[in-house]
Amino acid sequence: MTEPVTPTLLYLDNVTVSFDGFRALNALSLAIDHAEMRAIIGPNGAGKTTMMDVITGKTRPNEGSALFEGMHDLTSLDEAAIAELGIGRKFQTPTVFDMHTVEDNVLLALKDDRRPFSALFSRRTASERERVDALLERVRLTAHRRRKAGELSHGQKQWLEIGMLLAQEPKLLLVDEPAAGMTDQETADTADLLRDIAKTRAVVVVEHDMTFVRDLDVKVTCLHEGSVLAEGPLDVVSANERVIEVYLGR
Ligand SMILES: Nc1ncnc2c1ncn2[C@@H]1O[C@H](COP(=O)(O)OP(=O)(O)OP(=O)(O)O)[C@@H](O)[C@H]1O
């Protein structure tokens, strides 16, 4: 077996992405450990989305590498191959099947065959049922399992989608602004949920809501103009004069 060249799960090294000469990412380097949760903050246009796009293969960097598990260079793989390696991405807007029940949504995510008809009408094995139960419990939706997904609150839909991503057993989960549009209670519950998930896999969360970031209680990276401006515990990062100047103090 090939030995990984770094102990980190994800290692972005000197990644630059230029759009017509404008550097959305500028020699960005960042390392995420196995089962680490990291919060990414920074002003609009700092490059947060572009960074996620590079990790998931949506955007190819002009320079640099993105090493996963010390051996896969993500910059040479397409989106499907990257998902296959165990990188899942949760976009801001939930994409669940509104007309299906909550449990069927999770079941669909579990099945290899994603065509709703064959997935929902084929026999459910005992192990599939157990996994659906465990996933629903994990994302706090057991009591809502027979409701149509379209009837859920915005926060519950977000959790359902997180449950659907967990069905794929990702090693790294990328989450884009999960707290946006949530109530205070949902925001606190989401922080709890992500902390729970990060016990067994790595999670990278992009977020503007500082109350939520504080609740996550993890290492924070502040991006600015495509590179790392500050990194460390939230208290340290939020006391950084440059961070206050370009982001928090606005
Ligand atoms: N396809 C593109 N073509 C040209 N410029 C782009 C493209 N994608 C992003 N940009 C620019 O790159 C910069 C970084 O954008 P990005 O979306 O990564 O920032 P962000 O940190 O996610 O911001 P926000 O917090 O607003 O989501 C921005 O100035 C943006 O306008």
Q: Which is the closest atom of ligand 1 to the Cα of 53?
A: 18
pLDDT in tens, 110-160: 875 555 555 565 667 788 889 999 999 999 999 999 999 999 999 999 999
Q: CA torsion, points 237, 41, 218, 70, in degrees to nearest 10?
A: -110
H or E element in which residue 52 lies: helix 48-55
**What does the angle CA 62 – CA 66 – CA 67 come to, to the nearest 5 degrees?**
150
CATH number for the domain whose boundaries are 1-86+170-250: 3.40.50.300
The domains of the chain are located at 1-86+170-250, 98-169
Ligand 1 centre from 46 Cα, in Å? 7
pLDDT in tens, 82-97: 999 999 998 888 789 9
Pocket test for ligand 1, best of 17, 22, 176, 221 (most atoms within 8 A of CB): 22
Does ipTM come in above 0.90? yes
Cβ atoms of 164 and 106 closer than 8 Å: yes
pTM for the model stands at: 0.91
